[in-house]
Structure 1
Amino acid sequence: MKVLLPPSETKRPGGSGAPLRLDALALSSLLDQRLAVTRALVTLAGDPAEAQRVLKLSDRQVGDIEHNRMLFDAPTMPAVDRYTGVLFDALDAATLDEQSRAWLGRQVLIHSAPFGPVSALDDIPPYRLAAGIALPGVPPLRRFWAEPTSAALADAGFLLDLRSEAYVALGPVPDGAESAYIRVVTAAGRALNHFNKKAKGELVRALATTGAVITGTSDLLAWAEHNDVILRASDVPRVWELVVTA
């Protein structure tokens, strides 16, 4: 199983890891795409005014341009610790024991715009790039990433997809792959926003702390029932509703 998570716009600064090595990231077949996008980001950062325009940054966010300029020189930290925000705060990976963090490293991929999906424990630097940005010198990210990313996921086994639609577009689940896409709803079926991210973070934390072994949808549903997690079928094939009280 691989759990697919979206990234977060907000990121923890600093780190103590060695500089970024694109060839050390999970899904090594994506190296060419990673090189193209990261090099384009570094080049763009050489023109701060243009970078602010392209990346759609406010004046308060222009400091992120320096993160892009330093992509290959900045210290790194595990991706699951780099990202902050509601989902990653709920996951709270820093408080997990070694065994649970190792589970994250084996089972969780976080889908970034510059690097594609990376392992939760892959070391990455801070950066600024959203899925919908049109980056100079690179085809539209949706077109550039989608086919090679889907191909890279083809041998990943069962896919538990917790990504937002923007990141699903950067790497659709391969045709024929067994998968479950999770959306978060109330008991009455109302979709949620803040609680959507929180519930997904809590779900991944529960999977990690229980050391879940899941090879298909039936395993997922059995795990959910055993752990008092409510998953119910939706009216869309392969889409399951995670029911929360909000």
Structure 2
Amino acid sequence: MKILLPPSETKRPGGNGAPLDVSALALPGLAAARHEVIDALIDLAGDEDHARRVLKLSAKQAGDIAHNRMLRSAATMPAVDRYTGVLFDALDSGSLAPASRRWLGAHVWIHSAPLGPIGALDPIPPYRLAAGTSLPGLPPLRRHWADATTEAIAGEDPDFILDLRSEAYVALGPVPDAVASCYVRVVTEHGRALNHFNKKSKGLLVRALAEDRARLRSLRMLRTWADRRGFVLRSADEPGVEELVVAE
């Protein structure tokens, strides 16, 4: 099983890892596409006013441009520790046992805008780029990433994919049709979609999977595990979509 997570806009600063090594990231077939986005971000960072407009940053966020300028030289940390926010706070990877963190590294991809899907333990620097951004010199990120990412995922030949991404990141790399998968939507008992609890519930779900170091190869096995663990999963009206039901 592979799990696809969205990134977060907020990131932990600093790090003590070596600078970014694109060749060492998960899904190595995406290396060329990654270098193109990195180069475009570094070039853009050379003009702060233009970068603020393209990245839609406020004056208080202008410091993020420096992160982009240093993408190839800044210190790194594991991606799952770099990202903060509701989902990653609920996952709380730093408090997991070493074996559970290794499970994250083997089973979780986090879908970043500049690098595509990366392994949870892949070391990355801080950056600023959203899924809907169009960078000078490149096509919109959806066109830049979608086909290449789908092909790279297919090349990994996963037996089952649990897709917990937001729709914006699904568009950057749809799961191949030939791969068994389910997309998870968080809802209340009455079917109302949630926002804050959507992210928190996904983080708690992945944490529980990591704690158990689950070996799941199908939707049926996921449902059995979820029932035992107290998570409520039910089929949605749309094919390939599961609803994770939480209290309001």
Q: Matched residues, percent identical?
A: 65
Deviation per CA, 1:149-196, whole angstroms, max 9, x where unpaired?
001111122110000000000000101210010000111111100000
Q: Does residue 1:191 correspond to 2:190, yes or no?
A: no
Q: Which amino acid aligns with 1:134?
A: S
Q: Which amino acid aligns with 2:174?
A: P
Q: Does residue 1:140 correspond to 2:140, yes or no?
A: yes
Q: Which amino acid aligns with 2:226?
A: A
User: In the alignment, which residue of structure 2 is the partner of 1:33?
Assistant: 33
User: In the alignment, which residue of structure 2 is the partner of 1:63?
Assistant: 63
Q: Which amino acid aligns with 2:243?
A: E
Q: How much does 1:225 deviate?
A: 1.2
1:61 & 1:128 partners in 2: Cα distance? 9
2:228 & 2:8 partners in 1: Cα distance? 30
Q: Which amino acid aligns with 1:160?
A: L
User: In the alignment, which residue of structure 2 is the partner of 1:166?
Assistant: 168
1:151 & 1:130 partners in 2: Cα distance? 22
1:118 & 1:211 partners in 2: Cα distance? 19
User: In the alignment, which residue of structure 2 is the partner of 1:128?
Assistant: 128
User: In the alignment, which residue of structure 1 is the partner of 2:240?
Assistant: 238
User: In the alignment, which residue of structure 2 is the partner of 1:23?
Assistant: 23
SS in 1 for 2:202: helix
2:24 & 2:141 partners in 1: Cα distance? 22
Q: How much does 1:139 deviate?
A: 1.1
Q: Which amino acid aligns with 1:142?
A: R
Task: Give me the TM-score of the superposition, normalised by structure 2.
Answer: 0.98
1:216 & 1:134 partners in 2: Cα distance? 36
Deviation per CA, 1:17-41, whole angstroms, max 9, x where unpaired?
0000001000000000000000100
1:107 & 1:157 partners in 2: Cα distance? 12
SS in 1 for 2:4: strand
Give aligned pairs, total: 246
1:196 & 1:181 partners in 2: Cα distance? 13
User: In the alignment, which residue of structure 2 is the partner of 1:219?
Assistant: 221
1:132 & 1:48 partners in 2: Cα distance? 19
Q: Which amino acid aligns with 1:170?
A: L
User: In the alignment, which residue of structure 2 is the partner of 1:205?
Assistant: 207
Q: Which amino acid aligns with 2:190?
A: A
Deviation per CA, 1:18-68, whole angstroms, max 9, x where unpaired?
000001000000000000000100010011111001000000100000000
User: In the alignment, which residue of structure 2 is the partner of 1:153?
Assistant: 153
Q: Which amino acid aligns with 1:208?
A: A
2:177 & 2:111 partners in 1: Cα distance? 19
2:203 & 2:151 partners in 1: Cα distance? 26
User: In the alignment, which residue of structure 2 is the partner of 1:103?
Assistant: 103
Q: Which amino acid aligns with 1:195?
A: F
Task: Give me the TM-score of the superposition, normalised by structure 1.
Answer: 0.99
CA RMSD of aligned residues (A): 0.6
Structure 1 gaps of 5+ residues are: none
User: In the alignment, which residue of structure 2 is the partner of 1:180?
Assistant: 182
SS in 1 for 2:18: coil
Q: Which amino acid aligns with 1:67?
A: H
